[in-house]
Structure 1
Amino acid sequence: MPSVCSRVLPALLLALSLAACAQDPAVEPVAPLSGLSSTYTDPYAWLETPDSPDALAWVARQNQRTLAELTQDAPLSDFISTATLLAHEASEEGGSGALPSGGAVDGKDPAVTTIDGVRHVYAGSNCYGTVDPDAPPPAPGADPVVMGRTCLVSLSRTGEDAVEVREYDPVAKAYVPGGFHLPYAKQTVVWLDHDTLLVARGWDSSDAALTRSGYPYVVKVVQRGQPLDQAHEIFQGRVTDTSVSPAIFRDRQGHRAIVLVRRPSYFTTEHYLVEGRHTLKLGLPPLAELAVLANGQLVVKLGQDWQTASGRTFPAGSYVSVDLDAARHDPAKLKAAPVYLPGPREAVTNLVKARSHLVVTSDENVRGRLTVLTRIDGGWKTTRVDLPDMSAVSIKSSSEDKDKLTVTVAGFLTPQAVWSVDLDSAAATLVKAGSPGFDASPYTVDQWQAASTDGTAIPYFIVHRKDMVLSGDNPTLLTAYGGFNLSRLPTYSATIGKLWLDRGGVYVVANIRGGGEFGPAWHEAALKTHRQKSFDDFTAVARDLIQRQVTRPARLGISGGSNGGLLMGVALTQHPDLWGAVAIKVPLLDMLRYEAIAAGSSWVAEYGSVSVPEERAFLASISPYQRLDPSRTYPETLIMTATHDDRVGPGHARKFAARMEALGKPVLFYESDEGGHGTRGLDDAARARGPALELAYFASRLMPRHAERPVGGQVVAGAAD
């Protein structure tokens, strides 16, 4: 059987041999695009069509040129081999099982399977039958009624968000004969009972039941063996919504809530209880999410301050509970009780239920915390679990049947470890330490902060050698995200360790506004026309690193993907003199057309809309595609995307690269034909290829040609200055 590394190298060598013969067509420079005018001509609009022959031919030429240049300037094959081996070891480290939570059907790789030759499997834990939800409530102390278990697995062709859904038997390791089978689509599917599903999807080939963002807004009931065209509709949103999806909440006491979640915009929600043939709109605030149902109480996470029917106000970021029976009786006038109120520098991230407790994960000053909540005298007692600091904490598995759960803990220098937590005592025990992919002993992690333009303190993590010299000459890789209420937490990456730190690099993660590091207010501070704060925060961290003499512009590289790709594009066009190298991955870059590309229209609540004059003016002022300036000098930029990205779409990256090339600016472009928006569902080799290309690029552009010196426990030579 060939090794995981050997599968990728022949393809690389073939691409390089083709590159030796390929000739890029001459490209005439173009005039600056007028982003401030009401209309403009886009000479590269043809690159927005993902699978057009002309666009794919352009992609092939760019890929060949990029691979040839990186192979010439860096030991690219070594980077790919090392990254692939590390990815394979990480997959093996994940362990095996019949159907791990969020994992694959065959259990070997947490995101990959090969049943029926289909590699990409998501949502493998969507199983029915662990507990019979329709059985009478069990007597105190009695075991729940356990039924047969089948699961819904979501199969993707190339890693997109669209999936095919099939019913699977994890014991027989086979699809259920005559079982549920929903064709390929963007869809949400939940069990109502063993023979009934609630499904939101496009219901015909014309996509008539999809929103303008490309997501479902019609929910129907599908019975076992029933053709989809005979499914019964129970709810319809609007084509202008972001999406509509069903959800089922159950508890051990036999309560069940059938909920339809309508999202008029990306962040706002409306929740409807389904009662027989009626739907009851719950009087929850627009920025709210249902978490769990426990003891007949709906637990709600608040994204905004909420004054309830009783007159009490709960702050944004809190968990509160609403009585389910009371909600059915008077859904518009809800009363609530506090469950968990975070501190001023804390952001709650998740809540799960166990047999006698609730458990909350949160980030306090961007460091993971785990808290056990115990119901006492009508209130909730909180007990903090002692876990390693400077880490990210996430819940791996939990069950209503017991008062134990397992969590994973990982840091920049400590691989993901599994801990068992006894919830009655709040005691944590290490079950399995992660296997290190590199020697972390020479390194340390600090948390520093920089002052942004408006004086706001912006924290950032810096991973570096313990004996780092503040000479201003350390090759430094800075990354951030800054959007959609998502946080950048300590994350273990053996690839970063082996291919960057061990080569003498410094790694920095900035926690800028727009993310969720400090709760909803941190996110809201950089929404729409306030987004320049996020960009300024990032620049402030870069300047702080330079001022502290960690690095200098010629040694400073920046990298980000998706919304972080937009951040990189803005950093490149606003401050090109600050960076020695820039990597922009699966990005948004044409902010005057983002609403018309892939799922872009779903993010108006985050970025604003060109249909609003004030918001359009701001988008035009920051849009990287329009702000490229023929008169400015830019560092060489690496742009990476995926043909099958059905969320952001490859058009942004393609057009930006084409325009940089036409303006005579140094640019490298690479587009993968595997995966979608990110690496979900990819095998080891495909998942490793992107980071390997990126780190080979940064090593060749940022690492100075000094005499050989020891770094990371080995002697290496730097690349060209």
Structure 2
Amino acid sequence: MMKRMMSLVSAALLTGAGAPPSAPAPADDPFVWLEDWTGPRAMQWVEAENKATLAAFQNDPRYAGYYKDALAIASAKDRIAMPVLIHGRVYNFWRDADHPQGIWRYTSPADYATDAPHWTTVLDLDALSKAEGKKWVWKGANILDPEERLALLNLSDGGEDAVTLREFDLETGQFVKGGFDIPKSKQNEGWLDKDSILIARDWGADQHGGTMTKSGYPFVVKILQRGEPLSAAKEVYRGEPSDQVGTFPMILSDGSGNRAAFLYRGVTFFGNETYLVTDGAVKKLSLPTKSQLQGMVEGQVLIQTSEEWKSGAERIAGRGAAGRAAIGC
């Protein structure tokens, strides 16, 4: 499965406790119609509120000046190009008046340190949008490490939350022929290896019902192999439709070649569960509900918690405290 996939987590982290169900809305709730958040009444309310808010801003005598200044700052050609280091190159996604949809580009670390770097464009979203009759909006790239050659691009048509996933080769500067090309959905993915990904999305209705939470997020995670149709993906975990957020894959790695796959289940907006995925099996980690995985260093996972965490004789205070958990290969 994964290269040097972690197969063991400290036994103190493993448990199988479930989450309590959420309370139903009161029968006399005058706003219960908002539960149907994509329904016509809810959308009409959203449109009316947006219109009123925009009018309030535009009727303010300061609006035109503020808008002009903000646009000038956002589109300035001399603003800092935020860097991302990929395979020894400095990548940056850039938008300005000449590139309203944006370009993905790179330069060398040495050139980036100069006052006027020379950039090479990898992908021009304005050109791609024109060629495909879309209005592609950049939502990020998921890079397969450690080679850092293949990427899953998250592209949104018009800027909505739902994205299309398309595999891209950074060496050739082309979309991979016959590669992963996953149709639009609210979805999140993580590379297991070159030929398989973990993915949470709207899988449509199955024998259990729908696969999206009431708040509109995916809660079913499957493994999809290269060349397979979505219908052949194998389920590895299922949250609950009552979850307030959803369930998403997360891949952590470090510079020593260690990698591990996790699942984040957002039971509520303020509490979550974390699971380790090994060879298709899923194990719950006994972490505080108000904790987040932050990264990996030398095979140890860094964890930030906002509540007290006790594990054996160890005690870590909350309020943004950090801890670490040893993982063996």
**Would the aligned equivalents of 2:204 and 2:211 in 1 still touch at CA under 8 Å?**
yes
| Aligned residue number for residue 144 of structure 2 | 128
1:159 corresponding residue in structure 2:
159
**C-alpha separation in 1, matches of 2:82 and 2:172:** 16
Shift of 1:219: 1.0
The answer on 1:306 being equivalent to 2:309 is yes
Question: What's 1:265 paired with?
Answer: 268
d(CA) in 2 for partners of 1:261 and 1:323? Answer: 19
Distance in structure 2 (CA, Å) of the matches to 1:178 and 1:99 = 28
Name the SS for the 2:152 alignment partner.
Answer: strand
Alignment of 1:179-578 (within 5 A): 179-204=179-204, 208-241=210-243, 242-309=245-312, 311-316=313-318, 317-325=320-328
CA offsets 1:424-481 (integer angstroms, 9 cap, x no match): xxxxxxxxxxxxxxxxxxxxxxxxxxxxxxxxxxxxxxxxxxxxxxxxxxxxxxxxxx
* CA deviations over 1:498-548 (Å, ceiling 9, x no partner): xxxxxxxxxxxxxxxxxxxxxxxxxxxxxxxxxxxxxxxxxxxxxxxxxxx
One-letter code aligned to 2:302: V
Aligned partners of 1:274 and 1:64: how far apart in 2? Answer: 45
Question: How far does the alpha carbon of each residue in 1:578-628 deviate from its partner, in whole angstroms, 9 at most, with x for none?
Answer: xxxxxxxxxxxxxxxxxxxxxxxxxxxxxxxxxxxxxxxxxxxxxxxxxxx
- Within 1, Cα distance between the matches of 2:57 and 2:269? 41
Cα deviation, 1:636-683, whole Å, max 9, x if unaligned, reads: xxxxxxxxxxxxxxxxxxxxxxxxxxxxxxxxxxxxxxxxxxxxxxxx
1:247, 1:275 → 2: CA distance? 13
How far apart in 2 are the matches of 1:198 and 1:61? 36
Deviations 1:198-246 (A, max 9, x none): 1011112799211222111111111112111111111112222231111
**Alignment of structure 1 residues 703-718 onto 2, 5 Å:** none
Structure 2 partner of 1:116: 128
Cα distance in structure 1, aligned partners of 2:230 and 2:193? 17
Q: Is the CA contact (8 Å cut-off) linking 2:82 and 2:92 kept in structure 1? A: no
Q: Which has the higher strand share?
A: 2
Aligned residue identity for 1:192: L
Q: State the AA in 1 paired with 2:137.
A: H
2:104 aligned partner, one-letter code: D
Specify the code of the residue in structure 2 equivalent to 1:283.
S
Give the residue type in structure 2 aligned to 1:236: R
Q: CA deviation at 1:252?
A: 3.3
Letter in 2 for 1:297: Q
3-state DSSP of counterpart to 1:93: coil
Change (3 A) 1:88 1:179: same
Shift of 1:77: 4.9
- Contact 1:154 1:163 survives alignment (8 Å): yes
In structure 2, the partner of 1:74 is: 61
1:285-304 superposed Cα distances (whole Å, 9 cap, x missing partner): 22222222222222211221
Paired with 1:285 and 1:64, the residues of 2 have a C-alpha distance of 39
- Aligned mates of 1:68, 1:274 — CA distance in 2: 48
What is the CA deviation profile of residues 339-396 of structure 1, one whole-angstrom value per residue up to 9, with x for unaligned ones? xxxxxxxxxxxxxxxxxxxxxxxxxxxxxxxxxxxxxxxxxxxxxxxxxxxxxxxxxx
SS in 2 for 1:120: strand
- Which of 1 and 2 has greater Rg? 1
Give the structure-1-normalised TM-score. 0.32
CA shift in 2, pair 1:160/1:205, >3 Å: farther
Please give the alpha-carbon distance, in whole angstroms, between the structure 2 residues aligned to 1:208 and 1:238.
10
Structure 1 residue aligned with 2:74: 87
Please say if residues 290 and 299 of structure 1, whose CA atoms lie closer than 8 Å, have aligned partners that are also in contact.
yes
Cα shift at 1:105: 4.9
Q: Is the 8 A contact 1:105 1:170 kept in 2?
A: no
User: Given the alignment of the two structures, is residue 39 of structure 1 paired with residue 28 of structure 2, yes or no?
Assistant: yes
Secondary structure of 2:71's aligned partner: helix
Name the aligned partner's letter for residue 116 of structure 1: L
Give 2:104's aligned residue. Answer: 106
Q: Cα gap change, 1:102/1:321 in structure 2, threshold over 3 Å: closer, same or farther?
A: farther
Distance in 2, Cα, partners of 1:261 & 1:41: 33
Contact 1:49 1:55 in 2 (8 A): no
Q: TM-score, normalised by structure 2?
A: 0.67
1:121 Cα deviation from its structure 2 partner: 0.6
Q: Which has the higher helix share?
A: 1
- Equivalent position amino acid for 2:144 in 1: Y
Helix, strand or coil for the counterpart of 2:73? helix
Displacement, 1:69?
Answer: 7.1
The 3 A distance-change label for structure 1 pair 82 and 179 is: same
Pairwise CA distance, 1:182: 1.5
Unaligned runs of 5+ in 1: 1-36, 132-146, 329-721
Q: Distance in 2 between matches of 1:276 and 1:256?
A: 13
Q: How far does residue 305 in structure 1 lie from its aligned partner after superposition?
A: 0.8
Root mean square deviation of aligned Cα: 4.0
- Among all aligned residue pairs of Structure 1 and Structure 2, give the percentage whose two residues are the same amino acid: 27
Q: 1:101 to 1:200 in 2, by over 3 A?
A: farther
Distance 1:238-1:55 versus aligned 2 partners, 3 A rule: closer
Aligned partners of 1:175 and 1:299: how far apart in 2? 34
Q: Report the AA paired with residue 156 of structure 2.
A: S
Unaligned residue ranges in structure 2 (runs of 5+): 1-25, 84-88, 95-101, 106-118, 130-134
**What letter is aligned with 1:190?**
G
Q: What's the secondary structure of 2:104's corresponding residue? A: coil
CA distance change for structure 1 residues 51 and 248 in 2, over 3 Å: closer, same or farther?
same
Cα deviation, 1:8-66, whole Å, max 9, x if unaligned, reads: xxxxxxxxxxxxxxxxxxxxxxxxxxxxx963667x98x976778x949x759957993
Aligned-partner Cα distance in 2 for 1:312–1:68: 52
Q: Is residue 174 from structure 1 mapped to residue 147 from structure 2 by the alignment? A: no
TM-aligned CA distance change 1:61 to 1:236, over 3 Å: closer
Instruction: Tell me which residue corresponds to 2:20.
Output: none
